[in-house]
Structure 1
Amino acid sequence: MIRIIRPSNLSVLALVAMVIPIAECEDSLWPVREFRGVWVATVANIDWPSSRHLTTSQQKHELDLIVQTVHKLNFNAIVFQVRTAGDAMYNSSLDPWSYYLTGTQGKSPSPYWDPLAYLIEKSHNLGMEVHAWFNPYRARAGSSSRSGLASTHMANRFPQYTYGYGHNLWMDPGAKVVQDYIISVFSDVVKNYDVDGIHIDDYFYPYPVQGQDFPDSHTYNSYKSNGGTLSYSNWRRNNINDLVQRINNELHAMKPFIKFGVSPFGIWKPGHPSGIHGLSSYDAIYADARKWLVEGWLDYLTPQLYWKIDPPAQSYPALLDWWLQQNSKNRHVYAGNDVAKIVSHGWSAQEISNQVKISRDHRSLLSLGNIQFSMKYFISNSHGIANAFSALYTNKTLAPVMSWLNVSRPVSPSNVATDSSSILWSRDTSGAIYYWAIYQQFADAWNLHTVVRAEVTSVSNITKGFYAIKGVNRAGVESSPIVVQVHGSTAIVG
């Protein structure tokens, strides 16, 4: 049972109160904020679960190991793939349970559990964010057949807008009924789960298949017959623009603190910047990610910069610089890094470390973090990648502040007191607190000691020294600190 210590109780603990000088709390002394994310891919059982035949107990064990590893390495966000192809890694009222979870699409876990709810609870208990990652239009991966899909699957809801293309099944982004359904899926998660963010990656229109046209001409002809004037390509881009803008507007209207992020292919168009060659996401998959950033239709952009630093045709720093230069609305940019290439292409762990350092060097331009693909390489410590990140992420930190989100300002903790090894405070009654951040002073700086949920009112096993407690809201804004000094059986509170 947690005991709340109020000022009248201080003499019981032989505490002496005094004001700690505010100079102890100058902004420059607090840890630098950084988004440290990792993608957990569920499609084809890439990261989790390792097999669709695991028991519930085995699935939970693997998810526990993911959370523990992310926390141990001082990451602060998990980007969890909840919808791979019109399916669900959570209890959805719209999409069927995922084949990759139970081996049969539409079959619920037995014994029952909800992976997304479980992950959120475990991660939030450790002060880490969870971003729900969706693939909007892919209807099936690895097969262009509807055979075996659940009756509630979107391909069966809208068969007239479902196409086999290459080795996948795809929904038509130009069909408004499909877009409305996808928005309802996103809204369902935001309404029913305490996710910190919503995340979509680079699958909009499918990547081109040689010798095969995406068969949406009847949808475009219908648009034209109803007075539409856009060219075929611009119409396709506009369909994706509409989706991105609607996600941003409608989900923020539901919960203003939701962080909306998009992870597009890393090249907008060849020649941007000069000397860059490769696939044009603008022309090939109709993703105008530059527009989304310029218009501020997202809270963070994660361009997939899956190339080395040196090759001039696809240069990590050159592309990062270019994306940062497009950021006229001052949103956050968290570059995506491909740690999988350490295994698949023989990269060194040092290459990824250097890319993270380059991202940090551009902090003044709002390069404020990175997301790594993908989790299994940290679990296995492939080629020392986990060791490399232990050297990069030496201390804990909170995700960067998103000051534009419409969230109430946090309040400082009240009735703060200590005994010889604990710090205690009163429960928040403002409703503005999401976490309490507890810092410990080392020399002239404060290190983040731990992060606890708003309902927690104490931390234990505290050694002697100076500590500061701040309230943190859903946008990452912190309150003024309350500083305490713990020294044996005596504490000074200010």
Structure 2
Amino acid sequence: MGRLSRRAFALATLTTLTTASGSASAAQAAPARHSRAVRETRGVWIASVANRDWPSRSGLTAKEQKAELIGHLDRAVADRLNTVILQVRPTADALWPSPYEPWSQYLTGTQGKAPGWDPLGTAVREAHRRGLELHAWFNPYRISNQADPAGLVASHPARQHPEWVVPYGGKLYYNPGLPEVRAFVQDAILDAVAKYPVDAVHFDDYFYPYPVAGQTFDDDAAYDEYGGGFATRADWRRDNIDKLVLETAARIKQIRPATRFGISPFGVWRNVATDPLGSNTGAGVQSYDDNYADTRKWVQEGWIDYLVPQLYWNIGLAVADYAKLVPWWADVARGSRTKLYLGEALYKAGDPAQPAAWQDPAELSRHLTLAKEHPEVCGHVFFAAREVASDPIGAMARVVADHYQQPAKTSR
């Protein structure tokens, strides 16, 4: 997925989507509390990387893949969500017929093999038919979750341009410091924008990869060539990511003006001990310093249409308290054209490896109650579709019963 806290999750078989879950029954049983029209974003991520959410495994038939996808869309409707964020470029590949990159291995099990249907085209059409927005989610720089370029299909751009590639942490990445890489990544993404009426382009938290102890991201040659005007390598790296964001935003508007651009970064920009402007947290990762993503600036400058910081921590957690991060982000977003939504860790609910707060089905509902105190918060997005479908301890059912009794228009 590209979220730091998601790396430890175990892959599991997708719960049968045609079985009614507690979230749907609770929503249907609870009486409506008001009839006033609601406007807020209620989203769910559908991750395709490593078959996390969909398809449940590679090699399903086209009919089976489509049925699973439709099941996720129908579940979103049943839970009165209005936005689906579908991962369509998980590892420098494609879930649509792309002239730039190969078909994703997560469809057929073989990179470059056509699945026999158009997943993105179908997703856009079927989501819109159900009144859902479809946001196309792209990972910009991750090439592969293994480190051997020979594991890529022979025609892969990373094999055609090995000078673009940086091995790091047992994976392969495109080098964000190369202008030709930045242009190629945008071309590959914008092909989908040109072909399909997606409601938004969505990036997650992977820009420069998260730090791996004892390893160095080797961009020396690129820094020597392009970094001369910067005081530090860190400043140069942040400028590379700023350029990606600004250029992508401008090109989206040129191609499809109604399509928005949103980003879901790691939930801590900087800790207050690092920077007095930072949040009252002690997180081990800071997006500004570790991903070279100046997420606070993007909001304050209004460079993007929406931001969804991943606030994947419980209320009261000492190093990253949800109740402290929400007002901090609300303050950042105040007066900005950039909408603020909050990323919610549904996947932690009921996980015995998580703190005790996550064993309480009401924890997520309390998040939404707290966020209502801050008018800058325009919605929530839940990670992820597998847990929306299975809802093991009824946390999603509780959210629906407490907060989603009425359908909602998106906050755009």
Is it true that 1:201 corresponds to 2:204 in the alignment?
yes
Identity %: 39
Equivalent in the alignment of 2:183: 180
Q: TM-score scaled by structure 1?
A: 0.72
| 2:58 equivalent in structure 1 | 52
Within 2, Cα distance between the matches of 1:83 and 1:211?
Answer: 29
* Structure 2 counterpart of 1:157: 160
Matched residue SS, 1:190: helix
- Say yes or no: does 1:361 pair with 2:373: yes
- Cα deviation, 1:177-196, whole Å, max 9, x if unaligned, reads 10000111121111001100
Q: Would you tell me which structure has more strand in proportion to its own residues?
A: 1
Could you report, residue by residue, the CA deviation over 1:33-77 in whole angstroms, capped at 9, with x for unpaired residues?
010000000000000000002111111111111011000110000
Q: In the alignment, what sits opposite 1:268?
A: 269
Q: Which residue does 2:306 correspond to in 1?
A: 300
- Write out per-residue CA displacement over residues 465-493 of structure 1, whole angstroms, 9 at most, x where no aligned residue: xxxxxxxxxxxxxxxxxxxxxxxxxxxxx
Q: Residue 277 of structure 1 contacts residue 313 of structure 1 at CA under 8 Å; is this kept in 2?
A: yes
Picking from 332, 337, 340, the partner of 1:333 is 340
Structure 1, unpaired ranges of 5+? 1-27, 402-494
Q: Secondary structure at the match of 1:253?
A: helix
Aligned counterpart for 1:376 among listed residues 372, 379, 386: 386
CA distance in 2, matches of 1:353, 1:206: 32
2:15 corresponding residue in structure 1: none
2:23 matched to which residue of 1?
none
Kept in 2, the 8 Å contact 1:336–1:371? The answer is yes
1:108 aligns to what?
A: 114
1:306-455 paired onto structure 2 within 5 Å: 306-327=312-333, 328-344=335-351, 345=354, 347=358, 348-363=360-375, 366-391=376-401, 392-401=403-412
Task: For 1:349 and 1:47, locate their aligned partners in 2 and report how far apart those are by CA, in whole Å.
Answer: 21
> 1:167-225: CA deviations, max 9, x gaps?
2111100001100001111211110011000000000001011111101011101114x
- Provide the rounded CA distance (Å) in 1 between the counterparts of 2:60 and 2:254: 38
CA distance in 1, matches of 2:151, 2:235: 35
Give the greater-gyration-radius structure (CA): 1
Contact map agreement 1:378 1:385 (CA 8 A) in 2: no
Tell me how far 1:394 sits from its aligned partner: 1.0
The letter of the residue matching 2:92 is G
Question: Secondary structure at 2:349's aligned position in 1?
Answer: helix
Report what 2:131 is aligned to. Answer: 127
Q: Contact (CA 8 Å) 1:49, 1:62: kept in 2 or not?
A: yes
Determine the C-alpha separation between the residues in 1 that align with 2:338 and 2:229: 32
Q: Secondary structure at the match of 1:180?
A: helix
Q: Which residue does the alignment assign to 1:190?
A: 193
The CA RMSD over aligned residues, in Å, is 1.5
**CA–CA distance in 2 between the matches of 1:352 and 1:390?**
10
> Alignment partner of 2:242: what SS?
helix
| CA contact 2:86–2:135 (8 Å) conserved in 1 | yes
Corresponding residue to 1:86 among 66, 83, 92: 92
Partner AA of 2:367 in structure 1: Q
Q: Which ranges in structure 2 are unaligned for 5 or more consecutive residues?
A: 1-33, 273-277
Counterpart of 2:406, as a letter, is: N
Which letter maps to 1:121? R
In structure 1, distance between residues paired with 2:372 and 2:226: 46
Conserved? CA contact 2:305–2:337, under 8 Å:
no
What TM-score comes out, normalization by structure 2 length?
Answer: 0.86
* CA positional deviation for 1:29: 7.6
Q: Cα deviation per residue 1:78-121 (whole Å; 9 max; x = unaligned)?
A: 00000111011111111110000110000001xx1111111111
Counterparts of 2:322 and 2:280, CA distance in 1:
13
Q: In structure 1, what residue type is equivalent to 2:137?
A: W
Question: Is the CA contact 1:359–1:368 (under 8 Å) kept in the aligned structure 2?
Answer: no
Q: How does 1:136-285 map to 2 (within 5 A)?
A: 136-141=140-145, 143-224=146-227, 227-271=228-272, 272-285=278-291
What is the count of residue pairs matched by the alignment?
367
* CA gap 1:275/1:48 in 2 versus in 1, 3 angstroms: closer
Q: 1:236 to 1:193 in 2, by over 3 A?
A: same
Partner secondary structure for residue 312 of structure 1:
coil
Change (3 A) 1:349 1:29: closer
